[in-house]
Structure 1
Amino acid sequence: MANSTPITVIDRETGKAFHEKILGEKWIRWAYQDGNATTLESLLFRSSLISTLMGWWYDSPFSKGKIDSAIHELEINEWEFASPKESYGSFNEFFARHLKDGTRPFDPAPENIVSPADGRVLVFPKLDEDTFAPVKGHPFNIRKMLPVASEHFINGSLAIIRLCPADYHRYHFPCAGKIVQSRDFAGALHSVNPIALGSGPDVFGENKRSYTMIQTPNIGTYCYVEVGAFGVGSIINTKTDGSVQKMEEKGYFKFGGSTVVLVFEQNKIRFSEDLIANSAAGHETLIKVGQPLASAIEKTDKK
């Protein structure tokens, strides 16, 4: 029988825990927890066909009717929208919406690293060489996630920001720097929901993903990874080369749950204390673009 334990997230602004509303929760639990994953894996998760068809439909004008129900069901704040909901020509236009100026304030100090996305964050202050384990008993490793770049990040630090359908789906640069390398990997489209992560698929090593290496003045070179998931029509990177500024847009996801992963070199950053404490207790923290994520470690502080 499926484990129906709710997903508990800490609201950073209030400090209170809440149970996450999961779009299609019954379906996800059925697919991953009722012994059906093997049967469905090839059809749904290792083939892009279903997600491609979903992407086509969400790009079409026929999908506009889903906008009102999504806003209501997911309790999305319309006040933040840069354009009124009636102006969107498709659900994907709504999903990849811009926000009003000033909606996501941030600290411009160069030594402070900010969240690149709205979502639910887990942080790992130090990798076990190349390994991190968001779910007990199911470790993942950066060698598989970054097969040609992992050696830079052995014993480093890592943050996972998981986006849900309710979230703002544009992602940004957490600090200033210069893009020095990028690469795309084809792959499966497993769900990034913790229900799926706790059931065994190697989401970070098998899913479709893109990564960008960014050289910075304060924290060395870090890796910015976008992970695709079931239902994601596309990962769209709008900034792909040259110098980047803190909070400049990097790209956006089309419909579906998605994830951004930041991987840092050893002894370069220190995550915010509340994120460390919540993650150590096994809880994601609800975070927004521009909120504090980490700070650069001064050279004199490094051990």
Structure 2
Amino acid sequence: MKKMKTTASPTVHRCMGKDGTIRVEDSGQDRFLQKLYTSFYGRVLLKVLTQPGFSKAAGAFLDRRASRFLIRPFIEKNHMDMRPYVKRPYRSFNDFFTREILPTERMIDCDPIHLVSPCDGKISIYPLDETAEFAVKGSVYTLERILKNPSLAKRYEGGYACVFRLCVDDYHRYSYPADGEKSENIRISGILHTVNPIAVESVPVYHENTREYCLLKTERFGTLIQMEVGAMMVGRICNYHGPRYVKKGSEKGRFEFGGSTILLLVQKGQATFREKFLKNTAQGIETQVEMGEWIGTAK
């Protein structure tokens, strides 16, 4: 695997919000992760924290009624607006974390030539080179290693990889970006690094984390690959459907607690993407998007 040089110095992460303003992310969590991923003792601790058993044990607690006391502090710490969500009592913290949004809050772009975002999150769009590789921060990723399928990876040479990073305060249900015939779900077991950019700069997260993907054969966008990537504290990727015909915007599944990532792979010549996403990615800026928002157009 190719690897770029990385540095232990703090990194500034920038995200463009829906209002067009650029926010600089530098939280206490970022500073903690910087030490965790760049110091000797931090890397020793990571050997424990990234094991699926750790996330499984944490998830078991978050499924219990006893975890409900965490909900209010979590809402307050993350300054979350709960008005867009269905109002109901929560059985556990995970029940709160996978809460449903009101149908009026995520209007799906129904134009058949528009490809839409499958989730809420921060989008970056990377061109795939002639060997189906793309660079994210300090790491170079190959689709062959991500998919564990060399012949499938080859079909996406010269295309695009859309990376949607979900933070803990994002809506953690996700949908289909277009109408199409969905394949079976293909699971690749691994460990569970955080998907915070600090980790992505230090280790090949998308090569190592547990992930699950399907092929989506569409009329206007060729065959898309939609992959859900688990993260630290997110041992469960819950996809609802096996092979079937699906509609754009219909719910595909959900992540349980933690930040997560969705990769959307698009074949060469099948779509053009909104210029602001490409420009921001080239400048190292993520862009906030919502589920159902138009991100690209069929060629």
- Name the TM tier (shorter chain): over 0.9
Which residue identity is paired with 2:131?
A: E
Matched residue SS, 1:161: strand
Q: Which residue of 1 aligns with 2:145?
A: 144
Residues 92-103 of structure 1: pairs in structure 2 closer than 5 A: 92-103=94-105
Q: Which residue of 2 aligns with 1:7?
A: 13
Q: Which residue of 2 aligns with 1:228?
A: 230
- For 1:128 and 1:10, the matched residues in 2 are separated by 30
Further displaced range: 176-185 or 240-249: 176-185
Q: Is the 8 A contact 2:231 2:260 kept in 1?
A: yes
Matched residue SS, 1:72: helix
- For 2:27 and 2:256, the matched residues in 1 are separated by 18
Which residue identity is paired with 1:225?
A: M
1:191 offset after TM fit, Å?
A: 1.0
1:141 offset after TM fit, Å?
A: 1.1
Residue 269 of structure 2 corresponds to residue 274 of structure 1:
no
TM-score by length of 1: 0.91
Residues 1-303 of structure 1: pairs in structure 2 closer than 5 A: 3-11=9-17, 13-20=18-25, 24-45=29-50, 47-84=51-88, 87-135=89-137, 137-148=138-149, 149-199=152-202, 201-297=203-299
Which residue identity is paired with 1:187?
A: G
Q: 1:70 to 1:229 in 2, by over 3 A?
A: same
Q: Deviations over 1:234-290 (max 9, x none)?
A: 100012220000100000000011100000111101111110111111111111101
Matched residue SS, 1:236: strand
1:207 offset after TM fit, Å?
A: 0.8
1:59 offset after TM fit, Å?
A: 0.8
Cα RMSD over matched residues? 1.7
TM-score by length of 2: 0.93
Q: For structure 2, which runs of at least 5 residues remain unmatched after alignment?
A: 1-6
- For 1:37 and 1:196, the matched residues in 2 are separated by 12
Q: For structure 1, which runs of at least 5 residues remain unmatched after alignment?
A: 298-303
